[in-house]
Amino acid sequence: MRQKPEIIASTTLAQTRLFRIEQLDLRFANGVNVQYERLVGSTAGAVLIVPLLDARTVLMIREYAAGMHRYELALPKGRIESGESTVDAANREIMEEIGYGAHRLQHIHSLTLAPGYVNHTTHIVLAQDLYPQRNTGDEPEEIEVVPWRLDRLPELLAQADCTEARSIAALFIVRDLILRNNS
């Protein structure tokens, strides 16, 4: 394993309620000094939930995505609040976004997104044995819930509004997990 560079200094360049832009002054093991910038999100990260209505059907959502300024078809997701466990955050998010809770929640994988400059981890949680439970969230409008069969993933990828990489990766991870468990 290579030796990580030493952080000589860390400076906050800008901060919003969600993110911080940080400059890192680094010294690598070979003596080279450089500056990197990174986007720092919440320290607890986020959850992305794969809620299975049954063994073949996942509940997706279509909601406004400000980064792309369009509506995006993706999996329910949200920030892990301070003091909240990964599975508790996942259950809270699906109650708010799809109107279901889950009797069985399992953390199955963690992903980073652009780790060269973004300090953020998304934890994928499989939610099974769903039951109706609607809680109020922070969404500005009602979220559309879209059932999708896991055996139709190629068709999903052909949808112009389904481009969110974490959701796509999570769907394939869960589909393969289900296939392994049923073989």
Query: Which stretches in the chain have pLDDT values below 50?
Result: none
- Residue 17 is predicted with a pLDDT of 86
User: In a 3-state reduction of DSSP, which class is residue 120?
Assistant: coil
What does the pLDDT look like over 126-137, one tens digit per residue? 999 999 999 998
78 bridge partner residues? 47
pTM of the model: 0.92
Cα 156 to the chain's mean position, in Å?
Answer: 18
Cβ-based neighbour number of residue 36 at 10 Å: 13
Q: Is the dihedral of CA 85, 88, 89, 90 positive or negative?
A: positive
The confidence score (pLDDT) of residue 7 equals 96
pLDDT in tens, 33-54: 999 999 998 788 999 999 999 9
What pLDDT, on a 0 to 100 scale, did the predictor assign at position 181?
83
Domain ranges in the chain?
Answer: 6-40, 46-181
Query: What is the SS3 assignment for 144-173?
Result: EEEEEEHHHHHHHHCCCCCCCHHHHHHHHH
- Predicted confidence at residue 76, as pLDDT, reads 98
pLDDT of residue 103: 98
Instruction: Tell me phi and psi for residue 73, to 5 degrees.
Output: -95, 115
What is 46-181's CATH number, 3.90.79.10, 3.20.20.80, 3.30.465.10, 3.30.70.380? Answer: 3.90.79.10
